[in-house]
Structure 1
Amino acid sequence: MMKMMKNLLAGLLFLLPFTGFAQLSVVGDWTASDKDENGNVLTFKVSMKANGTYAVDLGVDGTIEIEGKYSIEGDTMTIEDVSGPAACKDGKGVYKFVLTETTNSLTMVSDPCGHAGPTGKTFFTRVK
């Protein structure tokens, strides 16, 4: 019985890389829109890199206004702006996230910079 369980577990671990779950990644380009304090809609693009860094293009005009670093543990993402004219260096933001192949929904846990805006939620769509 124990040998059968070990074989089953080994088989499942072998198949894991071939499942959709294993292939989901925040790495790539994402866009989102949010309203500023005046009610104007601002669209921005976030490029998440495999090395744990990100770049933000506010207004999607080709100019990077924020560069930072991120880490992921389970369903929690921690972000920290490092440089750029719009970077907030007041501390790290912590978010719960739900990732699909085409969307990433973030809900703020804490963020001294208020990156998620007044609702505390940001919904991203993967750029194709």
Structure 2
Amino acid sequence: MAPQVVGVLTRRFGDFDAAEDAVQEALLDATAQWPEQGLPDNPRGRLIQVASRRMAERLRGEQARRRREERAAAQTPPDRWTAPPADDPHRTDRDERMRHRADTRGRLSRPTPHPPRPTSGAGAISSYGRRHRPGR
């Protein structure tokens, strides 16, 4: 039933990935609600309805975000779209502080190495090992 619902939404909205996500969310809602409220008369229709609403909400949200970004870009003068060159005589202390802040944040956000793994045979079995054991 889920592949049929994904097909309907893909044809309607033209986005397979978003349709798949919306159907998964609709199925999660259904598994939570249908055992308590009972199976609807038309389960496929109900999944299409819920998933379509999810996709419409997502599209409206993306359109609103895009409009906000376009408005913000229109309000920013073109000369402020890029940082001034390092040797610019009009460079201000604020520009230097912002560059330093970005450098500091970059250093702090770099990932740290993982702790060493145990070398003994007592480590966890990998998922590959569990699936491909002989005799299964």
| Structure 1 and Structure 2 fold alike (TM over 0.5) | no
Of Structure 1 and Structure 2, the greater helix share is in: 2
Larger CA Rg, structure 1 vs 2: 2
Instruction: Output the TM-score relative to the length of structure 2.
Output: 0.24
